[in-house]
Amino acid sequence: MSVETESQAGAPDAHDERPLLEVKHLRVLFPVKSGAVVARTVGHVHAVDDVSFELREGETLGIVGESGCGKTTLIRTLVRLIDSTSGSIRYRGEDITKAGRRELEPIRRQMQMVFQDPQSSLNPRKRVGQILATPLKIREVPKDQIEAETHGLLDRVGLHSEHLNRFPHEFSGGQRQRIGIARALALDPKLMMLDEPVSALDVSIQAQVINLLDELQDEFHLSYVFVAHDLSVVRHVSDRILVMYLGKLVEISPAEELYHKPIHPYTSALLGAIPIPDPKENRARERPIVGGEPPNPISPPAGCRFHTRCPRATEVCRTVEPQLTEYANGHAAACHHPQNVSGAEVAAGTRSPASPLSAGDELPTEG
């Protein structure tokens, strides 16, 4: 597989330390219509609400949270498959938030998606060779080189040349996902958005696909945004992890720091739900109690959106929205009553006024 030159790819100077991707105060609201004859907007679904973060070259950012928290909407907005309501998205310093189709064309070649369900993302009427040839033509690869390129792409993702003449339905789920990854690679991207790429696969196949993604990242100097609901998978692949709840960013941290020292009660609950292989340890482990269902995203609660399910919630949580506060080691969380932080760390952070619980206080647990 050929690689574009730096000038062709629009790569920045080696000394340019700007983030690859900068997202500031991003908001995505979907209108809710009502009326049989004249549809009127009666509300909005708060899918993504005031999310900000940065992604560096070669970094993997994991995004986790319950179903419906806005993970997939967020990454689809980043590649402009969905338009944002407000906020900004900058790719290599260029604002692409409102860019038109012609302006987005060269940028979209560098930002590719790998979808959760490869069965629905691959054209069932085309053979694999045709599926892979399409992005190569977009990249203006000479016709006499396309066949060799498609062979090289399949080989790189662990498939064989004879697979080029088969249709997607003739492959297993893991093989179809490899084809989806090969199609994304065909445009020689710099950033890949991975939307739960292994959630539909068996555990053994998950490990193979994750190892493949690790190898490709090192070989092609890729950056990843990796969406998943399985925190054990995200821990393995991510440099940093962003936790979302009901459209809000509630915590962001280096991966190992998050697993050993979660600050937000919601993050603790997600970590407590990870099964342990030893049944005895799993039964003995204390789990944070988080009851109930997530609130309606059309009318999210005032204050902290997690307060309706949080065992730490107090009156300030119900009335004042917590601001994202930076603590030590690049760790930040939006919580009035942070856990696992010292008094000095709380005092050093810029946070909304509240009296935090003492550093030793923990969530109530099950017996």
User: CATH number for the domain including 24?
Assistant: 3.40.50.300
Contact in structure between 135 and 212 (CB atoms under 8 Å)? no
Rounded Cα distance between 251 and 81, Å, is 25
Helix (H) or strand (E) holding 33: strand 21-34
- 79 lies in the same domain as 172: yes
Among the residue ranges 55-59, 118-122, 339-343, the one predicted with the least confidence is 339-343
Lowest mean pLDDT among 87-96, 128-137, 346-355, 357-366: 357-366
Q: How many residues does the chain have?
A: 367
What's the average model confidence in pLDDT over 97-112? 92
- Calculate what percentage of the chain has a pLDDT beyond 90: 65
Residue 152: domain span: 18-242
One domain, residues 196 and 307:
no
Residue 248 maps to a domain: no
* Better pLDDT: 241 or 278: 241
User: For the ranges 16-20, 110-114, 204-208, 223-227, which has the lowest average pLDDT?
Assistant: 16-20
Measured at the CA of 220, the angle between CA 258 and CA 161, to 5 degrees, comes to 120
Q: Are 155 and 97 in the same domain?
A: yes
Q: What is the DSSP-derived secondary structure letter of residue 166? A: S
In angstroms, the CA 141 to CA 147 distance is 10
Q: Are 252 and 240 a contacting pair, CB within 8 Å?
A: yes
Over residues 80-93, mean pLDDT: 95
The whole-number pLDDT of residue 341 equals: 83
Domain-embedded: residue 257: no
Looking at the fold, whether 119 and 185 belong to one and the same domain comes out as yes
**pLDDT surpassing 90 at residue 366:** no
4 within a domain of the structure (yes/no): no
Q: Do 218 and 286 fall within a single domain?
A: no
pLDDT in tens, 137-147: 999 999 999 99
| Pair 276, 338 in one domain | yes
**Within a domain: 254:** no
Give 200's DSSP letter.
T
Strand 191-195: give its sheet, edge to edge.
Answer: 111-114, 191-195, 223-227, 60-64, 240-245, 248-254, 332-333, 325-326
Amino acid at 188: D
The answer as to whether 127 is a domain residue is yes
Whether 7 is in a domain gets the answer: no
Total domains in the fold of the chain: 2
Residues 112, 198, single domain; the answer is yes
**289 and 233 within one domain:** no
Give the span between the Cα atoms of 93 and 19, in whole angstroms: 8
Distance of CA 277 to the CA centre of its chain: 26
Mean pLDDT of 318-337: 94
Q: Are residues 217 and 325 in the same domain?
A: no
In a domain, 91, yes or no: yes
In a domain? residue 179: yes
> Do 194 and 319 belong to one domain?
no
228 and 89 part of one domain: yes
202 and 68 together in one domain: yes
Compute CA distances 236 → 44, 182, 228, 243, 285, whole Å: 36, 22, 12, 16, 22
* Res 76 pLDDT > 90: yes
- Residue 346: what pLDDT? 63
In the prediction, which pLDDT does 280 show?
A: 58
Confidence of residue 13 (pLDDT cuts 50, 70, 90): very low
299 three-state secondary structure: coil
The last residue of one of the domains, among 200, 224, 242, is 242
